[in-house]
Amino acid sequence: MTIEAMRDDDLDTVLMPNTYVRLLAQEFPDHAALVAGTGIAPSQLAGYAHPLTVRQHLRCITNVLPLRPHPDWHLQWGKRMAENFHGAVTLACLTEPTLGAGLDAFLRFMPARIPYLDWRGRHVGPTFRCEVTPRIELASVRRLLIEVPLIVIHEYVRVMHLGAMTEATLELTATGELALETYAAYFDCPVVPERTRDALVIPAAWRAIPNIDFDQGAWRAALARCEATEQLDERDAVGRVRQVLEAALAQPGMGGVPTLDQVAMQLRCSPRTVIRRLRAIGTTYQAEAEHALKSHATALLADRANRVQDVAARLGYADAASFRKAFKRWFGTAPADWRRRS
């Protein structure tokens, strides 16, 4: 499911680090082909010091497709580079107290580096889902740009878990041009295709796995560096608001989405700032809150152990009838009918 959160104008105004493309320049010597259509001179690419617009970045990735030595090159590259190019985010993940804390840091701070993807951590029953979803149409590079983050997350979990990963699952909406068996060479867990979202799913209990290299001073310093560059601007406003809403709904007993004031407090800004930043991207707090409710409603209903009245209570509705009315407005069908069809 594509999340429509970025407008076409954002592709030329939203900036992101140049690290990804500079690393590609080390992989592919044909720099002219790599930067074709970006406005960047091939001679400048290896040492390019400026941020890239999202449009420039995506054009470079599209240019990579005919340059790849084989269709699964991106998985090989992502596995090899997993710990090497995320700056302070990598440091935060490697110095964290637990695996869960590291995943939370990764999912929280990555939107500032790659804003065209929606990064989300979600508790579903006894599992924890690390989901990566496009916020814009990615066309031919969708699989590449989805699967590289998933293998980066997989490598991090594999290193921290220090054991067989057969209890984890890689869920894919599609496999593109790759055969399902190809993924077995890169992922140490079962792969399930034709799912509704792309995600690495692990047992929630793994989140408590301690990091034997935990360094409290380094952890705090890394978080401070990440937070220093994390500002609520047009680039990441939607991602950060959604993270707060998702985290709140994932907590049992929360009883609905938090208020605008509560979200603003967590983001350390005023409610007016949240409204202004979201409006600049063409959305509202009410729309984002409803988006979160819709997302959690379908996720909870997908677990047939949850009764409709239980889902209604979990999402903060006064009764099942109110939830059914909202659900039918969202999806044009009743919760029970949606569950039967899905």
Using a pLDDT cut of 90, give the percent of the chain over it: 47
State residue 340's pLDDT score: 86
Q: For residues 236 and 247, what is the distance between their CA atoms, to the nearest angstrom?
A: 17
Maximum mean pLDDT: which of 1-10, 13-22, 145-154, 229-238: 145-154
User: Strand order in 191-192's β-sheet?
Assistant: 117-124, 127-134, 199-203, 169-171, 191-192
Q: Are residues 54 and 122 in the same domain?
A: no
> How many domains in the chain?
3
Q: Are residues 96 and 199 in the same domain?
A: yes
| Residue 75 covered by a domain | no
Is the pTM value of this prediction over 0.75?
Answer: no
Q: For residues 215 and 246, what is the distance between their CA atoms, to the nearest angstrom?
A: 28
| Residue 216 covered by a domain | no
CATH number for the domain spanning 261: value is: 1.10.10.60
Q: Are residues 48 and 113 in the same domain?
A: no
Q: Are residues 101 and 197 in the same domain?
A: yes
State residue 5's pLDDT score: 46
Pairing of the two strands 127-134 and 199-203 = antiparallel
Q: Are residues 37 and 95 in the same domain?
A: no
Q: Are residues 97 and 56 in the same domain?
A: no
Give residue-wise pLDDT tens across range 272-291.
Answer: 878 888 887 778 999 999 98
- Domain region containing 17: 10-67
Q: Are residues 240 and 337 in the same domain?
A: yes
| Residue 310 covered by a domain | yes
Question: Could you say which of 191, 208, 225 is where a domain stops?
Answer: 208
Q: Are residues 45 and 129 in the same domain?
A: no
Q: Are residues 130 and 202 in the same domain?
A: yes
| Residue 249 covered by a domain | yes
Please say whether the beta carbons of 314 and 321 come within 8 A: no
* Least confident range of 50-64, 174-188, 264-278, 325-339: 264-278
**Which H helix or E strand runs over 121?**
strand 117-124
Q: Are residues 287 and 321 in the same domain?
A: yes
Give residue-wise pLDDT tens across range 246-257.
Answer: 878 877 666 788
Q: Are residues 246 and 333 in the same domain?
A: yes
Q: Are residues 243 and 301 in the same domain?
A: yes
